[in-house]
Amino acid sequence: MDYHKRVVKMFQDSGIAFTKQEIAGIDYADFGLDRIEIEGLNLIVYENNDRYCAKEMVLLPGQTCPEHLHPPRNGEEGKRETFRCRKGTVYLYVEGEKTPSVHSALPKGQEKYYTVMHEVVLHAGEQYTIEPNTKHWFQAGSEGAVISEFSSPSDDASDIFTNPEIQRVIK
């Protein structure tokens, strides 16, 4: 099954109701790296306005959203986001004391761009809030993951990625 069909199937199998327009408008983010199955993210944005943002995210098995942070912008603190795992398992890495033995495998050849290793494991029904200006990255477990994000306004263009080759583009 091709990549896009696998992503759509995960969204549809999540138990969350989506409109045809939402499924047709999935943002397949490959970050300009052309290795989306390894480093990528798939999103449905419900709302993103000047006060809040709500979205659903799908990660295929082992897929990783690269390390980044949401810096202050326009005199406001950076984006604060709460991740709630809806299905599967997501391994979230944030600043803090390094976890001695982590579950994730770093993308080959990209190890130097993953610098925070404090692991937070989220199973279905669990959530974690990432404070503004905090480096983080996340990876799906072997069954993939569906994650809801509730946050302050999202401005992808202001995100700072550890890997300088990354560009936030929509495909």
pLDDT of amino acid 169: 55
pLDDT of amino acid 26: 98
Say if 104 falls within a structural domain. Answer: yes
pLDDT tens, position by position, 81-130: 999 999 999 999 999 999 999 999 999 999 999 999 999 999 999 999 99
Q: What is the CATH number of the domain that holds 149?
A: 2.60.120.10
pLDDT of amino acid 76: 86
pLDDT of amino acid 171: 43
Residues of the chain with pLDDT under 50: 170-171
Say if 157 falls within a structural domain. Answer: yes
Q: How far is CA 36 from CA 3, 133, 134, in A?
A: 9, 25, 24
What single string gives the DSSP state of each residue in 16-51?
Answer: ----HHHHHT-EEE-TTSS-TTTB-EEEEEEEE-SS
pLDDT of amino acid 156: 87
Say if 168 falls within a structural domain. Answer: no
Provide the number of structural domains found in the chain.
1
